Homo-oligomer: A and B are copies of this chain.
Amino acid sequence: MRSYGQFCSMARALDLVGDRWTLLIVRELLTQGPCRFSDLRRGLPGIASNLLADRLREMEEAALITRHEEPPPVAATLIGLTGRGRDLGGVVGELTRWGAPLMTNPPHDDAFRMHWFALPLRHLCRAGSPGEPAVTVRFGDLYDGCDVIADNGRIDVRPPSARRRVDATVTAPPQVLVALFTAQTSLAAAQDQGLAVDGSAAAFERLLPSEGHTDA
């Protein structure tokens, strides 16, 4: 990106991360952990491969990411965030929060990946009190999803792991998930609209926002 040429903290930040796609790449690496080139392409539908390669080169020069070879039999290059890259979590979080009201508009023909909900879910799930038993719920699946762990009054959202035992697995059309977790819709209505819980329904309900917060 062309520099703004301004001696200003924010302008200099945008000189590094203001390019198209750059912050979305950070979103992917934050929510998915270290990724391969092809993982990033799957998580960034619409990006051209040359653009992704360009961005990764620039981000490596700016010390936002690092690459390291995995030993055989994997033999792939893993791309991960540096500390400085991970520090962009605050920026990503604020953008995500500011954009939340825009999610009430239907998806039309937008692409969707379940793991994009990882960041919003951290704040939309009901943390509960420290006394309540811990639950683990998978949204989506191993190849595109996230695991929500509610424990000790805290919500933790992590990339899905095959080694993790989950109490329930949830799938749903994205707009149904939005409506349910913003308390615009009841669980029963969500199930009518395609939400399905495999495993402990109680574990999933444990994450829903409390009744008192509905807009109605």
A51 within 8 A of B: no
What's the Cα separation between A86 and B80 when bound, in Å? Answer: 33
**Does A154 count as interface, using CB distance less than 8 angstroms?**
no
- The majority secondary structure among interface residues of chain A is helix
Chain multiplicity (copies):
2
Check if A36 is an interface residue, CB within 8 A of chain B. no
Across-interface contacts of A199 in B (CB, < 8 A): none
A116 touches B8 (CB 8 A): yes
Q: How many residues of A contact B (CB 8 A)?
A: 46
Q: Does A20 contact B (CB under 8 A)?
A: yes
> Considering the complex, which residues of chain A in the window 1-40 have a beta carbon less than 8 Å from any beta carbon of chain B?
1, 4-14, 16, 18, 20, 23-24, 27
Shortest distance from the beta carbon of A27 to any chain B beta carbon, whole Å: 6
A71 CB-CB contact with B under 8 Å: no
* B109 close to A9 (CB less than 8 A): no
Query: Which A residues contact B (CB, under 8 angstroms)?
Result: 1, 4-14, 16, 18, 20, 23-24, 27, 45-46, 87-88, 90-100, 102-103, 107, 109-113, 116, 119-120, 174-175
